[in-house]
Amino acid sequence: MKNIIHLLIFALAFSSCKNEEKIPVIVKEIIPVPEFRYGYNIDDFVLIQDTIKSGESFGEILDRHHVNFPKINKIAGEIKETFDVRRVRAGKPYTILASKDSIQKAQVFIYKNNKIRATVVDFSDSIIKAHTYLQPIKTVQKIIEGKIYSSLSNSMDSLHLSPNLTNTIADIYAWTLDFYKLQKGDSFKIIFEEKYIKNNLFAGYGEVKAAVFNHRGEDFYAYRYLADSIKGITEYYDTDGNMLRSQFLKSPIKFQYRISSRYNLKRRIAHYGYRVKAHRGTDFAASNGTPIMSTANGTVVESRRRGGNGNYVAVKHNSTFTTKYFHMSRRKSKVGDFVKQGDVIGYVGSTGSSSGNHVCYRFWKNGKEVDPFKEKLPAAKPLNKTLKPHYLEFVKPLKYQLDHNQLSVPEQPVIENVVQN
């Protein structure tokens, strides 16, 4: 039965005349708008919301809501290309739309992958269907400014920004800045997107449009730009159009580290009785279990434990360069794996001849160990010269926003970021 709200509106009219005129009562009928969720009219079902318990399976949940096991097996088999029911995880919320009769048998199962995405499984009739549902998203652009007092992560925390955004900024500047060398008083500004569902429920971050990091009085700008619309790959470039990404990262650890020992051919080591023993690597100290990244694309050619090196992985990048990562607590990559720049290949430890948790990063050039911080290493592919004029126009409003710490800019032609076919 439809709920009908009768709104009675009484209007009284007064007149200076002796004979008052009566105003009829107006009765207006208002029918409430149906509520839709995930494409279904909720009024047509019994709504059941719960969270998957530890050890609970898809089959157990449907069985509890009056779906028999032959039907459950049929559902699992027919939707396996879209949704593997074996991969439902404890702690994930789900919704069941059940029939409105006395049995309240499940008709639709909705698994919430995250705040934005859900998998909808409809088995209300003989045709079983499964699809991905995306919540309508509102994207808001913001600009923030911060100062370094101790570290980037602490500064971002003080601005109530999540580690996800901190990691994105660390990735953008991984080739440009040594986060170990940041100084008190360094500052940054970031133009970024926040995503919301239902207007006010935060659902994560979108793109970082632009940023500037002031380090030791020098500004390091970064602008997100789509230089190849066919591949759809975006990169970050500086004010002059130089790509920030180089062929090698500055560090095999993201930013939570300190350099405890540098490349030094005359170093005296306590572990060997303070005898002179050349140190042909750079030691990055970090807590046990910190992820270690490959500093460039390449193929794993060694993954083993051996003597003083402890657990280590070696990556051959091309005929010129090879890198090795010593003293891991454990290795993640095996021989033959192709790894991309930034992929985790192992974890910080203290295996082999080591007096504390760190990774010893060693660098070979043409078969000879060298100090990568003193080598002129190849840069990534530069911006196409034909795109340079367009790029310089594209970044003008972004630079204005960063320099003036505001999102509004003077009126100017719109520059679209899709140019190369």
| 216 domain residue, yes or no | yes
Q: Are residues 45 and 107 in the same domain?
A: yes
Q: Write down the pTM of the prediction.
A: 0.64
Residues 349, 286: one domain? yes
96/55 same-domain check: yes
pLDDT of 97 strictly over 50: yes
Name the pairing type of β-strands 321-331 and 298-306.
unpaired
Q: 142 and 130 in one domain?
A: no
Q: Quick one: which of 94, 122, 120, 85 has its CA closest to 107?
A: 122
Q: For the chain, give percent helix, strand, coil, nearest 5.
A: 15, 40, 45
The phi-psi region of residue 334 (left if phi > 0; otherwise alpha if psi is between -120 and 50; otherwise beta) is beta
What is the model's pLDDT at position 268?
A: 53
In a domain, 171, yes or no: yes
Asked whether residue 11 is domain-assigned, the answer is no
Task: Specify the range with the lowest mean pLDDT, choosing from 137-141, 317-321, 416-420.
Answer: 416-420
First to last CA, the chain: 58
Helix/strand/coil (H, E, C) string of 323-389?
EEEEEEEEECCCCCCEECCCCEEEEEECCCCCCCCEEEEEEEECCEEECHHHCCCCECCCCCHHHHH
| Res. 6: pLDDT tops 80 | no
Residues 193 and 226 in one domain: yes
Domain CATH number, residue 317: 2.70.70.10
Question: Which of 173-177, 277-281, 417-421 has the highest mean predicted lDDT (pLDDT)?
Answer: 173-177
For residues 278 and 350, membership in a common domain is answered with yes
| Shared-domain flag, residues 316 and 349 | yes
Instruction: Provide the residue range defining the domain that includes 356.
Output: 258-374
Q: Distance between CA 191 and CA 200 in Å, rounded?
A: 20
pLDDT at position 175 is: 81
Mean pLDDT of 320-339: 94
Last residue of one domain, picked from the residues 173, 204, 237: 237
In a domain, residue 226? The reply is yes
Question: Does one domain contain both 171 and 228?
Answer: yes
120 and 173 fall within a common domain: no
Looking at the fold, whether 192 and 175 belong to one and the same domain comes out as yes
pLDDT at position 32 over 90: no
pLDDT digits (tens, 9 = 90+) for 253-301: 986 677 867 766 555 555 555 555 667 888 898 999 999 999 988 899 9
Contact 298, 339 (CB under 8 A): yes
Q: What is the rounded distance in angstroms from the CA atom of residue 132 to the CA atom of residue 57?
A: 20
Contacts of 57-62 with CB under 8 Å at 24 or more apart are: 57/85, 57/86, 57/88, 58/85, 58/86, 58/88, 58/109, 59/85, 61/94, 61/96, 61/109, 62/106, 62/109
| End position of a domain, from candidates 90, 113, 134 | 134
Residues 197 and 225 grouped into a single domain: yes
Residue 308 CA to residue 352 CA, distance in Å, equals 4
CA distance 271 to 274: 7
Same domain, 59 and 85: yes
The answer to whether residue 147 sits within a structural domain is yes
Of 335, 354, 374, which marks where a domain is finished?
Answer: 374
pLDDT score at 348: 95
Confidence band, pLDDT 50/70/90 cuts, at residue 13: very low
Output the pLDDT for position 320: 87
pLDDT of residue 40: 95
Domain assignment present for 13: no
- State what percent of residues in the chain have pLDDT above 70: 85
CATH code, domain carrying 112 = 3.10.450.350
| In-domain check, residue 398 | no
**pLDDT for 390 beyond 70:** yes
Answer yes or no: is 10 within a domain. no
pLDDT, tens only, 335-375? 999 998 889 999 999 999 888 899 999 999 888 999 888 88
Number of separate domains in the chain? 3
Per-residue model confidence (pLDDT) at position 7: 41
At residue 106, the 3 state secondary structure works out as strand
Mean pLDDT of 30-37: 81
Contact 226, 248 (CB under 8 A): no
Higher pLDDT, 37 or 273: 37
